[in-house]
A and B are shown apart, each in its own frame.
Chain A
Amino acid sequence: MENSKSFTAAKGGLTKEKFLNNFAFFGLLLVLVLFEILTRGKLLGQRNLMNIFNNFFSIALCAMMYSFVMALGELDLSVGAIVGFSAAMAAFASEISIYLILPVALITGLLIGLINGFATAYLRVESFIGTLAVSFVFRGLTTYFLNGSVGIPIAMRAFDKDWVKIIALLLVLTISYLLYERCAFGKHCRAVGASHEAARQSGVNVQKTRMAAFALVGLVCGLVGFFTLVRACTASSKTGNSFEFDVLLAVLFGGMPLSGGWPVKFRAAVIGSIAMAALKSGMSLIGIDGLTQQVVEGVILIAVVVLSFDRRNAGVIK
């Protein structure tokens, strides 16, 4: 009955269902087309494409692993603090050896991710509050330890090359996609998000799944910390500032639901990250001032979710 109400754009083509499923994709397309015209072709020019890539690179890396946490129906507000702290620790490690920069960043990120996971899974702390508390702790520690800013050798900029980042992005994309779509882990995350009791009864180790999801986010934040560090060659108390909002906005832009479970689509993370970067770049290219940019982003965020939110399957909307 519901289907009979759906509109048909072309025979056997776009139904409302399909439209909603691909909403984020259409949104991205709209942003690209609109700003490509408004910027007279500058948006998708070769140089600006790399600029858009650089802008969405860190957010996309984190957003892809964030999908696991979102699938669980959880949030992680500590990602910015993890990026900042892992960059700071890696910068200190560079004073011993530059070969320690990457491993220290990754291990630091992983450890904080494990703390988040442990607090959420085993100590039953609500992820929103737990990760907020963790972010307070590590933001404070970053500022305290850095006591200003710490630089690393300029030679490390070699890792800021586009091809290195493209490989890193493809690697994380492949791993996270396989984990999410092809491995039991991704299904477990969605099953726990849909109903952790049902998941438990069907043999899913809920606690380990939660712990692993937060650990993965921590690990990838360590990687983001590394790339942030080699890009600026400096770690400061501002490194990773408001990154948590950037990532959250990106996944929401992609139409990812907060309720977790099966409706959480992996592609939303990628599409949302690109759409947000393209939107920001487009607005900047046509000379929209900062105040207007913020209003436009706010309106679009609400509009995207209003149009794409699946109210029928959402049950209670909090």
Chain B
Amino acid sequence: MKLKKITACVLAATMTASLFAGMGVQAESADPEPFTIGFPWDTANTDPTWISIYNNVKAAVEAAGGELVNVETDNSADGLIDNVSELISRDVDGILFMPASDSMLPTVDAMCADAGVYWGTIFRTISDEDIQEAMYSSDWFAGGCHEDDEACAADIVKSMSEMGVTDLGVINIAKGDTSSDLRDKGAAEGAEEAGVNILNTTYDISVTTDMTKTIESYIAAYPEMNGILVLGTYCEAAIPTIEKALADHNKAGEIKVGRIDFESSLGDYLHEGTFHVSYGGQQQIDPLMSAVILVNKVIGTPIVEEGPTNIITPYLELTSAEEAADFNDYFLGDEAVYTADEIKDSMIKYYNADIDMDYMDKLIATFSIADVVSRHSK
């Protein structure tokens, strides 16, 4: 009984103290009303790409005077639903996330509609036609920015075919992920068109030892294999590991290697001639643009008046070690691919009334590694 009394007193005192602690004064400004954007992201992941994604979203939100609220996520469908619920409870004005699947989106939309919160997506398109139709008619879906995963995968397979690849071993991220499924589909289409034989696909490799094992197993089981394509992976140091396994079996350079999504080590292997083709470069511009779309919607100046704003970014291609070095310096550094001032002037409609879809499409068309270097080199 005593214990309960003590507990009750302590809790009552704490809650009273916390009531007073929350008081503050709001300042007036010519800028848009202060707003907050929730962003579920795994900040425990120290991969520079993951860090750069966070930095780009943060830059876009802060450029318009907003605050980014992060919650830790495992990026699974149920984890993200919990994240959305948590962010709604924290009174955010918009939520930006990377969907784990199409089928989770109606749930998110319903939750956001109930709470009156806008939401947007990064990296992923909506493939399911019924879900796409329902989401596009939602008042709360701001839209998103993504690359054309299917075309990208098809094109990289065709590109490898032109290099002489006929039998391909494939690595991809876990099945069920929209990008993974679309890249699988695109690779199959590209392979059919170019007459390439896909020998096997291994999914969801997360550690280097498993990557080594898979590549060695491919070499052992498929002596005819003359190409390895990484459609996607969350394994750190994926390409160095693959290159090492190939070198140990005297296959470096002989087996052509391709990868979707750039990583920091590609320059070395492009220089050595043992790595052959990489399409990507969207990991920074996609989240930044997605955040811009959501921010514009939240502050009441949507890029597109009716329905969601959807921007498709063209994927870039790394062709030289110099470009790869520039990519490391200007895309994976601490700075976003557009500075706060650049975002404010050319992407936030509140400050620039000329912004519309045409304007954004033209802006995106100029985006390249050289473009970022020319804008940000000191």
Q: Which residues of A contact B (CB under 8 A)?
A: 10, 13, 22, 25, 29, 32-33, 36-37, 39-42, 44-45, 47-48, 50-51, 54-55, 143, 146-152, 154, 157, 160, 228, 231-234, 236-239, 241-242, 281, 284-285, 287, 289-291, 293-294
Number of A-B contacts (CB under 8 A): 145
Residue in A41, A233, A236, A285 whose CB lies within 8 Å of B76: A236
A32 touches B103 (CB 8 A): no
Q: Which residues of B contact A149 (CB under 8 A)?
A: 77, 100-101, 103, 176
Among B62-115, those with CB < 8 Å from A are 70-72, 74, 76-82, 85-86, 88-91, 100-104, 106-107, 110
B82 touches A294 (CB 8 A): no
Among B2, B18, B46: residue with most chain A CB under 10 A: B18
The reply on B366 being an interface residue by CB < 8 A is: no
Q: State the CA gap A132–B332 with chains docked (Å).
A: 39
Among B310-337, those with CB < 8 Å from A are none
Q: State the CA gap A159–B262 with chains docked (Å).
A: 42
The reply on B221 being an interface residue by CB < 8 A is: no
Nearest to B115 among chain A residues (CB) is: A47
Min CB–CB distance A158 → chain B (angstroms)? 10
Residue in A36, A143, A160, A287 whose CB lies within 8 Å of B18: A36
A284 touches B174 (CB 8 A): no
A290 touches B103 (CB 8 A): no
The reply on B17 being an interface residue by CB < 8 A is: yes
B101 touches A148 (CB 8 A): yes
> What are 30 residue pairs bridging A and B, where the CB atoms are less than 8 Å apart in the complex?
A22-B3, A36-B15, A37-B14, A37-B21, A41-B17, A41-B18, A41-B19, A42-B90, A47-B89, A48-B89, A48-B90, A149-B103, A151-B131, A228-B78, A231-B107, A232-B78, A232-B107, A233-B103, A233-B107, A234-B100, A234-B103, A237-B175, A238-B79, A239-B77, A241-B74, A284-B86, A289-B43, A290-B45, A291-B43, A294-B44
Q: Which residues of A contact B103 (CB under 8 A)?
A: 149-152, 232-234
Count of chain B residues near A, Cβ 8 A: 50
B77 touches A33 (CB 8 A): no
Q: State the CA gap A51–B204 with chains docked (Å).
A: 30
Q: Which residues of A contact B42 (CB under 8 A)?
A: 290
**Given A36-B15, A148-B176, A291-B44; A236-B100 close (CB under 8 Å):** yes
Residue in B14, B89, B174, B175 whose CB lies within 8 Å of A36: B14
B21 touches A154 (CB 8 A): no
Q: Which residues of B contact A (CB under 8 A)?
A: 2-3, 7, 10-11, 14-15, 17-19, 21-22, 42-46, 70-72, 74, 76-82, 85-86, 88-91, 100-104, 106-107, 110, 128, 131, 174-176, 181, 203-204
B18 touches A285 (CB 8 A): no
Residue in B91, B107, B128, B174 whose CB lies within 8 Å of A238: B174
A41 touches B102 (CB 8 A): no
A233 touches B82 (CB 8 A): no
Q: State the CA gap A136–B249 with chains docked (Å).
A: 31
**Given A40-B18, A48-B89; A236-B101 close (CB under 8 Å):** yes
Q: State the CA gap A42–B89 with chains docked (Å).
A: 10
A146 touches B22 (CB 8 A): no
Q: State the CA gap A313–B291 with chains docked (Å).
A: 57
Min CB–CB distance A317 → chain B (angstroms)? 30
B14 touches A238 (CB 8 A): no
